[in-house]
A and B are shown apart, each in its own frame.
Chain A
Amino acid sequence: MIRNQLVVYLNGVKKNIAGSHAFLTLAQWLRYEEGKTGTKIVCAEGDCGACTVLAARYRGSDKLEYLPINSCITYPYLLDCCHIITVEGLGSRDEPHEIQEAMAKGNGAQCGYCTPGFICSLAGMFEDLKRNKQKISEKKVKNHLTGNLCRCTGYLSIVDSAMAVDPKNVARISEMYSEVEMLQDFKSAYDNSVAIESENATVYLPKSFDEGIQFLKDQESSVLTSGGTDLGVFSNKGKISLKKIVSLNNIPEAYEINVRNKFLEIGAKASLTEVEKACNQYFPEFSKKLHIFASPQIKNKGTLVGNVANGSPIGDSLPFLMVAGAILVIQGEDGVREININDFYLGYKKFDLQKNEVITKIKIPLSDAIFKLYKISTRKDLDISTVTMGTRIRIKNKKIEEMALAFGGVGPVVMRAKKLEKELVGKTIDSQTFENFATKIYEEIAPIDDLRGSKNFRYLLCKNLFLKLYEDLSREI
């Protein structure tokens, strides 16, 4: 059976979304169709957090995990079988939620426009703390609020307000809302594929990759979306218009992360948050970088495969995946093929990917080599890179035995410094070596001037990051 409406719950109330409403952004739908105007639209690109709401996705089990997401760059069709909580769903002026009361008393709000977003992010933090039985700390508060901008308070009162909340007194959302009925609804809806049409757009939610590929074949010029964090921005800023969409939302296997045959396998719909968690064990350096990669809201929606398929020359995950030699698993009409990511990028936003082909997962070979990753941006957190560098290195007897080096932000694609890599093999790890070779990088990169940095700045950064690599390595060996 094919469903023609989306099943979502909003603050505990069932909503069937069909027709043109399915194609609004979630924030538009909340504000203008449901009157939930506590959710604000400011940047419409997931960079300010004023639109933050909580979403819990049904994935076959009876547990709903409430995670903050940016409602301005997501669509109802990416939230089928989800429970959405807005700021209004947490409490009201007369009966405020614990967090709301603390923020009011602690002068955590000034103009108030960013406040609902902060409240929802904090609610997400307390859900997380309770789920993982962790204690609150200033560092955690800041980490959970990285995706929320405030122009009035200077943040201090927000941190203090959050710290004033006793997690014991914070109710879990599952305690505030009975989930029995919604779980039943989700369960019965979950087995269906979904197809929705409006006057000028269609969206299809297949249950399997096969089904999705078939649809892509039948419906020419369809756009495939997984997390939608980039497509949402492009659409909001008028750069694309989403007319025919295939959403990977309802494909259970796409969410999987596994370790199999010495590979870490990451499904197309696995969120960056989950990837960060999984990499903590296998690739701690990458996990650390994912930490400043983006905001919690983005990482709860955005996917690693999305970052690869977007293929930006400043894609933050790409230097790592390249030096790690990640394998992309690509499924098409004729079956499945695998390709090394180093061969995937053919030019600026040009990929070795055919029409009707889908990257279903990424396989990263497990490795005991040393990984070092660097990202330089105007603002440390939640910013697009000026230059990135990734390296995998194996050292034996103080000599470089194996070296992979990749740079982002210095050309049309993230690139490997292959000449330099070769020359470095066999060289002794000392400051002399690194100083001698640092400017050799210039031969292989071709940065440009743009708003994130001048050409000269980028040259300088590449050289200096290479020197920094030595500083960091010398501390470790």
Chain B
Amino acid sequence: MSIGKNVIHDSALGHVSGQSQYIDDIPSQKNEVYVGIVPSCFACADVKGISFEKLNSHPDFIMGITADDLHDNSWGTIVHDQPVLASQKVNYMSEPVALVVSKSRYSLQELIKLVDVDYREKKGIFTIDDAKLEKSTIYKAHPFKRGDVQKALKKSMHLLKGTFKCGGQEHFYLESQACIAYPDEDVMRVVSSSQHPSETQRVVAHALGLPLHHIVCEVKRMGGGFGGKESQGAPIAAYAAIVAKKLGKPARISLTVDEDMKITGKRHPFQNEYVVGFDNKGKITALKAHLQSDGGAYSDLSSSILERAMFHLDGAYYLENVEIKATCYKTNNHSNTAFRGFGGPQGNMTIESIIEDIAQTLGLDSYEIRKINCYRGSKNITPYGQKVENNMLPELFEKLHKTSQYKKRKKQVEEFNKKNKYKARGLSMTATKFGIAFTAKFLNQANALVNMHLDGTVQVSTGATEMGQGVNTKIQQTVASAFGIKPSSVKVMTTSTEKNHNTSATAASSGADLNCAAAFNACEMIKERLIQIAKNYNIKNEIEVSDSLKRTKGYTFKNEKVTSPSGKKYNLKDLITKAYLNRVSLGAYAHFKTKGLEFDKDKGWGSPFNYFSQGTAVSEVEVDLLTGELKVLRTDILMDLGRLINPGIDKGQTVGAFIQAMGWVTTENLCYDDKRNLLTHSPTTYKIPNIQDIPREFKVNFIQNHENKRNIFQSKAVGEPPFVLGISVWTAVKNALSVKCSSVVEMSSPATNENILITYEKHR
């Protein structure tokens, strides 16, 4: 049984030796051409004309492509409102307006600069406040309501009113968007760096005017995704494909980091207005909030992201009287998109910020506020009606309080702060209660193809895409444990739409949940046939096997042997051979769908999630009050991931998500000039955490929880939930400043040096 073991990542040896192949590592074919994007020079303008004339004399120039060359120039995962190539009007700075095709990868940048585009600049909308004035919206969500908020607010002993602001975030996957399109007679094969091959297949098909069965999208792996390749890989693939189709030659596109950062969308900035009422102990009696996001120029996934922010405004806390409104605004910024957490962190951070403010107002420790508001006992219904089953939150808070020596350290922090004039330390514990499932119910399905070979090895294909998160390894473990074979006998194959159809994006942390379950179901089908072979092992005639899943009980598959209930042992390989000779299929295709998801959008009530992954984290920070410099001294994390499928991978996801979030709330600051040129478009200017930035002491643990009956192997999803815990670094900064400030510390995120220093100067 390989479940629960530290099976190493199935590509680990390839990664460390540089032999793992990514899109731009694929050797070029002799006739291959290279595609570059011409970005717009205005954030809002009419396009009067595009001229490639200056390129004609360049020896490498092959052709230019505009919107006119596309069959259907619109795409969008939810609403088709985004052009593949802008035509007539550009709606954000650096929006793709045309393509150039070159014989050489080395001259692409030169060619791009030679394209003339004639613009008529118009006035754009760049902030949520401006969009509000202009009534420029992408989506207004149906509010969540429970109790009587107005009445409860009136009766509250204390009221706090405020606006919580958090910035966007660049994905900073190291492999930029990339694709090679290979024309294969009348089929277009696109090899893409995409979290969503089926969507890529669809967008390419529409752009080319081909039916879906003429398009194959393959994804071997991505050099990071984080949500940035959920929707946005698709138009990039369409660029390569349209050129490949026109020329009948392979066409490659591989963006530079600068291009990628300027062109593609990011995490949504939010600006959340709220009024909160609470009593003398800090118990929240009422919360009224309006969540507002900047969706950018097009819809993309913004509506779902907004809703997930609403679903996570409660954080780990029971809100008896609550009203949550939400609006996504349309601006002339890059079209914001999915990013690990998908709005959840922006909602969650709001309540954690509010709690710090309550603590400061009452002069209490924020941990006490969190403890009394935490979901507990019968106070376990979320503002949208879902019950928090198998609620581990009180245990997670209390256990981490103990193991992190919170009490003792709180005292030490207080003493430090008394002694130091120019330095302040802060300590804060926050929580995650992340809902697992796509909130669009139909996406919660997956399919898998399992092929068993005569030597007892297995190839498995699913719609899951590997971006480093280890989903392939978890699938490998699932299949290995199902058949009782070594993980090395299972190979997870390149994801391809010709093997797995109508797949959902590998997103919402659900890649392993859905695809392991589908693979498991396929294994069960083959196992059932093998059991029937075992049962009839000695009959002379050809063995007939029925394909109805009887779930024959009592047979075990272990150590490459199959044991009957009576203890009779068969070599797995012998059964495989026998099956083949008896003309019994050793391949199976299976489907899986998550059960029990019901949510009524019009009422804002129901159970959109399969379960919640939960956790707590406590961070201690030190800020320099002269320079605003921040040090994260220590972080302790305690996660509930049910029964871990792969502790090494799960820990890696937890740590990675935490640090990524720490970057979001500290150093990752997106800057634009007045025309909305992104100024932070490479790692020189956009600072993600460095190895020196991780907490000086860093402890990560998991609690034992074998009660999650709602997911395969009683495991829980890990991709996004721990991201939310990075917020503890930011709340710890707030806590540190609160000691030295007389009024409630109003601070936006990220807490850059500048933000920390200016906030301190404003409040001291």
8 Å CB contacts to B: which residues of A64-117? 86-88, 90-93, 96, 99-101, 103-116
CB distance from B108 to the nearest CB of A (A): 11
Are B682 and A45 in touch, CB under 8 angstroms?
A: yes
CB distance from A410 to the nearest CB of B (A): 15
Q: A93-B17, A145-B691, A151-B660 are in contact. Are A157 and B655 (CB under 8 A)?
A: yes
Chain B binder among A342-350, A359-367, A380-388, A395-403: A380-388
Q: How many A-B residue pairs have CB under 8 A?
A: 249
List the A side residues contacting B28 at CB < 8 Å: 32
Are B15 and A104 in touch, CB under 8 angstroms?
A: yes
Are A154 and B15 in touch, CB under 8 angstroms?
A: no
Are B17 and A91 in touch, CB under 8 angstroms?
A: yes
List the A side residues contacting B105 at CB < 8 Å: 32
Q: Is A44 an interface residue (CB 8 A)?
A: yes
Assembled-state Cα–Cα distance A353/B601 (Å): 70
CB distance from B437 to the nearest CB of A (A): 24
List the A side residues contacting B13 at CB < 8 Å: 93, 96, 100, 104
List the B side residues contacting A105 at CB < 8 Å: 8, 12
Which of A99, A112, A155, A456 meets B14, CB within 8 Å? A112
Are A110 and B652 in touch, CB under 8 angstroms?
A: yes
List the B side residues contacting A150 at CB < 8 Å: 691
Dominant secondary structure of chain B at its interface with chain A: loop
Q: A24-B106, A40-B174, A113-B175 are in contact. Are A92 and B683 (CB under 8 A)?
A: no
The interface on chain A, measured as residues whose beta carbon lies within 8 A of the other chain's beta carbons, has a size of: 84
Are B468 and A87 in touch, CB under 8 angstroms?
A: no
Contact string against B for A residues 352-384, beta-carbon threshold 8 Å, 1 for contact and 0 otherwise? 000000000000000000000000101111111
List the B side residues contacting A386 at CB < 8 Å: 753-754
Q: Is B16 an interface residue (CB 8 A)?
A: yes
CB distance from A415 to the nearest CB of B (A): 20
CB distance from B39 to the nearest CB of A (A): 13
Are B679 and A38 in touch, CB under 8 angstroms?
A: no
CB distance from B679 to the nearest CB of A (A): 4
List the A side residues contacting B24 at CB < 8 Å: 31, 37
Q: A107-B9, A113-B174, A453-B754 are in contact. Are A43 and B684 (CB under 8 A)?
A: yes
Assembled-state Cα–Cα distance A435/B258 (Å): 44
Are A115 and B691 in touch, CB under 8 angstroms?
A: no
List the B side residues contacting A31 at CB < 8 Å: 24-25
Contact string against B for A residues 444-477, beta-carbon threshold 8 Å, 1 for contact and 0 otherwise? 0000001111101100110011011001000000
Are A154 and B655 in touch, CB under 8 angstroms?
A: yes
8 Å CB contacts to B: which residues of A156-174? 156-159
Chain A binder among B217-225, B310-318, B400-408: B217-225
Q: Is A16 an interface residue (CB 8 A)?
A: no
Are B221 and A378 in touch, CB under 8 angstroms?
A: no
Contact string against B for A residues 3-37, beta-carbon threshold 8 Å, 1 for contact and 0 otherwise? 00000000000000000000010001001100111
Q: Is A152 an interface residue (CB 8 A)?
A: yes
Q: A109-B9, A153-B652 are in contact. Are A237 and B692 (CB under 8 A)?
A: no
CB distance from B422 to the nearest CB of A (A): 7
Are A152 and B656 in touch, CB under 8 angstroms?
A: yes
List the A side residues contacting B649 at CB < 8 Å: 107
List the B side residues contacting A2 at CB < 8 Å: none
Are A115 and B15 in touch, CB under 8 angstroms?
A: yes
List the B side residues contacting A378 at CB < 8 Å: 667, 669, 687, 752-753
Q: A87-B17, A148-B691 are in contact. Are A43 and B8 (CB under 8 A)?
A: no
Which of B25, B225, B659, B690 meets A37, CB within 8 Å? B25
List the A side residues contacting B752 at CB < 8 Å: 378
Are A155 and B753 in touch, CB under 8 angstroms?
A: no
CB distance from A344 to the nearest CB of B (A): 25
Q: Is A242 an interface residue (CB 8 A)?
A: no
Q: Is A222 an interface residue (CB 8 A)?
A: no
Q: A32-B105, A93-B17, A104-B8 are in contact. Are A110 and B684 (CB under 8 A)?
A: no
CB distance from B286 to the nearest CB of A (A): 37
Which of A28, A104, A151 meets B12, CB within 8 Å? A104
Assembled-state Cα–Cα distance A454/B757 (Å): 12
List the A side residues contacting B19 at CB < 8 Å: 38, 88, 92-93
Which of A28, A38, A106 meets B106, CB within 8 Å? A28
CB distance from A398 to the nearest CB of B (A): 21
Q: Is A119 an interface residue (CB 8 A)?
A: yes
List the A side residues contacting B172 at CB < 8 Å: 151
Contact string against B for A residues 100-138, beta-carbon threshold 8 Å, 1 for contact and 0 otherwise? 110111111111111110010000000000000000000
Please, which residue of chain A has its CB at the minimum distance from the CB of B13? Answer: A93
Q: Is A247 an interface residue (CB 8 A)?
A: no
CB distance from B623 to the nearest CB of A (A): 13
Are A111 and B690 in touch, CB under 8 angstroms?
A: no
Q: Is B537 an interface residue (CB 8 A)?
A: no
List the A side residues contacting B658 at CB < 8 Å: 154
Are B16 and A451 in touch, CB under 8 angstroms?
A: no
Please, which residue of chain A has its CB at the minimum distance from the CB of B16? Answer: A100
Q: Is B747 an interface residue (CB 8 A)?
A: no
Please, which residue of chain B has its CB at the minimum distance from the CB of A379? Answer: B687
Among A93, A106, A108, A114, chain B packs the most CB atoms within 10 A around the CB of A93
Are B106 and A111 in touch, CB under 8 angstroms?
A: no
Q: Is B226 an interface residue (CB 8 A)?
A: yes
CB distance from A426 to the nearest CB of B (A): 26
Q: Is B469 an interface residue (CB 8 A)?
A: yes
Please, which residue of chain A has its CB at the minimum distance from the CB of B726? Answer: A154
Q: Is A317 an interface residue (CB 8 A)?
A: no
Which 8 A-B pairs give the minimum distances between C-beta atoms?
A38-B18, A111-B468, A112-B15, A113-B223, A154-B659, A110-B468, A87-B18, A37-B25
Q: List 17 A-B contacts (CB under 8 A).
A: A44-B257, A111-B15, A111-B224, A115-B18, A142-B692, A151-B656, A154-B655, A154-B657, A157-B652, A158-B691, A238-B113, A378-B669, A386-B754, A451-B685, A457-B758, A460-B761, A465-B626
Task: Identify the A interface with B (CB < 8 A).
Answer: 24, 28, 31-32, 35-40, 42-45, 47-48, 50, 86-88, 90-93, 96, 99-101, 103-116, 119, 142, 145-146, 148-159, 233, 237-238, 376, 378-384, 386, 450-454, 456-457, 460-461, 464-465, 467-468, 471
Task: Identify the B interface with A (CB < 8 A).
Answer: 6, 8-9, 11-22, 24-25, 27-28, 105-106, 109, 113, 171-176, 221-226, 256-258, 422, 467-470, 626-629, 648-649, 651-652, 655-660, 667, 669, 671, 679-680, 682-685, 687-694, 698, 700, 752-754, 757-758, 761
